Amino acid sequence: MKATATDIESAADVLRAGGLVALPTETVYGLGANAEDPAAVMRIFEVKGRPPSHPLIVHIAAADQLDDWVEEVPPAARLLADHFWPGPLTLVLRRGRRVPLEATGGLETVAVRVPDHPVALALLSAFGGGVTAPSANRFGSVSPTTADDVRVELGDGVDLVLDGGRCEVGVESTIVDVTGEIPAVLRPGGVTLEDLQAVLGHAVAVPSTSGVRVPGQHPSHYAPRARVVLVEPEDVVAEAELAQAQGHRVGVFLPPSLVGAAVKAHAVVALPGSQAAYAQGLYGFLRELDQQGCDLIVASLPVEEGMGLAIANRLRRAAGPRPVG
């Protein structure tokens, strides 16, 4: 059942008391705590099994609150916030005094965003403060895109789960570091590189490594129980059938160019042709193949433009530190 106004008020009370609330956003469900309560923030790390050196994202209710949480707002940050918030964009800025070091992994930078979901925004308004909220799952596993996913993942580790339906974007927010001279994408996500560059009017850096720690950088992340193997699109069927013949219970992500092709495998997911639909369904597809008992998933990377960049990033992390092909 979708969250009611009463549920939202109850969730705000839980946050004020130092508890944890799972809340829907347009990207994935988050595990929220009062951003100014160090003890509550540390409980997030305990419930998720997340290393305390991994910073969290502070969610706020509106762009005009940004100055309350950061030391300064450079022009590029203001421009991006005004254009993309509410929305799946996170900005990394210098930490303001309201943000405890527990929420930043000990860093002097903080990641901030305004989510684009009516339930999340209503909760932030009712609570009246910032909410730290990484994805509501065990550290390194597949992010949740429904309230049921959260309940399966975290059980009674969460004090209250707000149901906001299935997440519309389906992958996490784009993280942009705006502390330097040139904005840099540290994690591709729901706002595309092309959209960022169109608004800024110039190229945006996409460094392969960064000195700024942000969520989702662990070598193995967003991972199902099954091992994920990445191959070229034309090799998906052959690789899957070979692994199945070797005794694996194989799940296949069948790319749009091969939909309708016969493949001998334990389970097959026919991927949608739309990148947006693929992104929205990605984590659900991974969970589905886990639930069907697959021990190996064969997939290929999409074209890395638009939302394809975010999807490819998640698949690489799900596959872990193994070579492609």
- Give the tens place of pLDDT for each residue, 60-86: 999 999 999 999 999 999 999 999 999
Of 49-53, 112-116, 132-136, 202-206, the range with the lowest mean pLDDT is 202-206
Quote the Cα angle for 237-243-247, to 5°: 140
Beta bridge partners of 252: 268, 298
User: Is the model's pLDDT at 224 over the cut of 80?
Assistant: yes
Mean pLDDT value across residues 14-36: 98
User: Is the model's pLDDT at 216 over the cut of 70?
Assistant: no
CA distances for 17 relative to 8, 10, 161, angstroms: 14, 11, 15
Residue with the two structure tokens 């040139």:
182
At residue 260, the pLDDT reads 83
User: Is the model's pLDDT at 194 over the cut of 60?
Assistant: yes
Task: Give me the chain's average pLDDT, please.
Answer: 94
Packing angle of the helix pair 5-16, 118-127 (nearest 10 deg): 50
Q: Where are the strands (E) in 215-322, listed by range?
A: 227-230, 250-254, 267-270, 296-299
User: Is the model's pLDDT at 220 over the cut of 80?
Assistant: no
Helix (H, G, I), strand (E, B), or coil: what is residue 148? helix
Percent of the chain having pLDDT more than 70? 94
Amino acid letter for position 144: P
Enter the tokens of residue 5: 């106004």
At residue 324, the pLDDT reads 38
Percent of the chain having pLDDT more than 90? 89
Enter the tokens of residue 169: 């974007």
User: Is the model's pLDDT at 177 over the cut of 80?
Assistant: yes
Say if residues 228 and 253 touch (Cβ distance below 8 Å): no
- Give the tens place of pLDDT for each residue, 147-173: 999 999 999 999 999 999 999 999 999
Helix (H, G, I), strand (E, B), or coil: what is residue 172? coil
At residue 321, the pLDDT reads 72
User: Is the model's pLDDT at 10 over the cut of 70?
Assistant: yes
- Give the tens place of pLDDT for each residue, 261-297: 899 999 999 999 999 999 999 999 999 999 999 999 9
At residue 209, the pLDDT reads 54
At residue 320, the pLDDT reads 87
At residue 325, the pLDDT reads 37
CA distances for 275 relative to 77, 227, 251, 260, 307, angstroms: 27, 23, 20, 19, 6
Enter the tokens of residue 303: 């074209």
Enter the tokens of residue 296: 């190996």
